[in-house]
Amino acid sequence: MTLDDFLADPASRFATVAMTDTNGLLRGQMVSAGALKGIARNGMGMAPAQLALDPTDQMLEMPGVTDGAMADFHDDPLIVDPDSLRHVPWAKPGHDLLVLSNYGGETAKLCPRAILKSVLARAADAGFAPKYGMELEYTLFDETAESARAKGYRNLKTATPHASHDLVLYQVVQSEWYEAIAAMAEPLRIDLTKMHEEIGGGFMEACIGANGGTDPADQLVLLKNFIRALALRQGRSVTFMPRWNEQADSQSIHLHISLKDLSGNTLFHDPAGEHGMSQTFRHFIGGLQAYLGDMTLVFQPTVNAYRRFAPGTFAPPGLTWGYENRTTCLRVVGHDSGSLRVENRMAGADANPYLITAATLAAGVAGILERLEPDPEIRGNGYAQAAPRDFARSMPEAVERLRGSALARDWLGERFVETFSATRAFQHDEFRRKVPDVELERFFDLG
């Protein structure tokens, strides 16, 4: 169905126009079919201050949006994408259209989807077109949102009692859940390629197929938002926190990416190269190693994300790379022109899919243009070897490194770097004032 088809159908009543905020959450409004006609031409007003909200609608300080003359909470137009049409699961026909959008004009410089579109266009100008897909990790609980809150998010009942990595037994036990996700994915046009149990109680993974443009990032945003909606509809809860419990494994988004030229020819494969890697691919890896560390904040956007790097959590040990090696950050996967790619394992599951794709593509293309060589390949256990380059290990360090990154300012934009780093610094300062339970338990009786 096209947008014109929906508007021409007398049974069409309402549609949801949505944009993705900085956290990766969909925010939007239901509009009548009549109103959608005007919105398709002129856009839909929404306050840029939405981009300054955290997941619980705490307003973070965003320079130029929440301060000074701009702190009037005015609307700027969202530009609808007519190629993004989906249908909302569970909604009645005529009420179920979902249209994705992004800000235009000056606010586009703060909008994750618009930033990715800008980076994609710049990569295309250099002759490169990415093909990418993503893996999403999450934990499912047999708890309502209310019961989890009442327990203080402790001693929660996970959907499976213990780790069950790829164990068909628990996939069968959870078959209704997996089937519900598959059914949900169809009207949302999510190319769901794989689902399985992960290493931990209730710990699961869902994967989407590779494609170009904004589509895979669109799909992952939809998958995250609607998995949460599905859980709530079933009286359950789900979390994408990178580290929700001291005993839990870390949760990630893994981005698989390769490059083609504008004629569709693969650029990463050379049968004469080691592991079949072309020199272009090696330069792409070199760019990731050179620049991703300074953009850690994009991949670890919350204070919780840095707890993911505790020992023994299967998080990357540093900015290392290796062939078919999950103990590295940049895992080269595949064996021929159709499968060879790099898996960027850096992002926490709370990261914004548009931003991590934009940052990865920017760093890799810069590596190609600058002919950067990667560090020596890590062979064997990467956790037992020193990483020659590292990402930021704390939010303050990540804020400073992003602010100082010439590449981030060039590719992601000056205004994005300033506003995003300011909101994360505000978040860190807010949490620094909190007194965690573990400190009370450890130090209350001190002296």
* CATH code, 332: 3.30.590.10
pLDDT, one tens digit per residue, over 319-343 is 999 999 999 999 999 999 999 999 9
Q: Grade residue 70 by pLDDT with cuts at 50, 70 and 90.
A: low
| Same domain membership, residue 261 and residue 188 | yes
Tens digits of residue pLDDT in 348-387: 999 999 999 999 999 999 999 999 999 999 999 999 999 9
Are 309 and 196 members of one domain? Answer: yes
Res 447 pLDDT > 70? no
CA distance 212 to 214: 7
Q: Provide the strand spans (E) within 301-365.
A: 321-323, 330-333, 341-348
**In this structure, how many other beta carbons lie within 10 angstroms of the beta carbon of residue 418?**
17
Same-domain status, 269 and 386: yes
pLDDT of residue 324: 97
Q: What is the pLDDT, as a whole number, of residue 247?
A: 86
Q: Are residues 71 and 126 in the same domain?
A: no
Domain containing residue 79: CATH number? 3.10.20.70
Contact 52, 65 (CB under 8 A): yes
Tokens at 168, concatenated = 């068909």
pTM across the whole model: 0.97
Q: What angle do CA 348, 413, 265 make, to 5 degrees?
A: 75
- What phi and psi values does residue 420 have, to the nearest 5 degrees? -65, -45
Contact 116, 358 (CB under 8 A): yes
Q: Which two tokens stand for residue 154?
A: 């402790």
Average pLDDT over residues 268-285: 98
Which range marks the domain in which residue 260 is found?
A: 120-140+160-214+243-436
Q: What is the reported pLDDT for 69?
A: 60
Note the pLDDT of residue 330. 98
27-31, 243-247, 274-278, 290-294: which has the minimum mean pLDDT? 243-247
Lowest-confidence region among 17-26, 245-254, 370-379? 245-254
Same structural domain, 65 and 187: no
- Is 446 within a domain? no
356 and 252 share a domain? yes
Q: What single letter denotes the amino acid at residue 345? A: R
How many domains are contained in the chain? 2
pLDDT tens-digit map of 86-131 = 999 999 999 999 999 999 999 999 999 999 999 999 999 999 999 9
Residue 142 has pLDDT above 80, yes or no: yes
Residues 382 and 347 in one domain: yes
Label residue 38 exposed, middle or buried (CB < 10 Å: 0-12, 13-18, 19+): exposed
What torsion, rounded to 10 degrees, do the Cα atoms 208, 214, 203, 245 define?
170
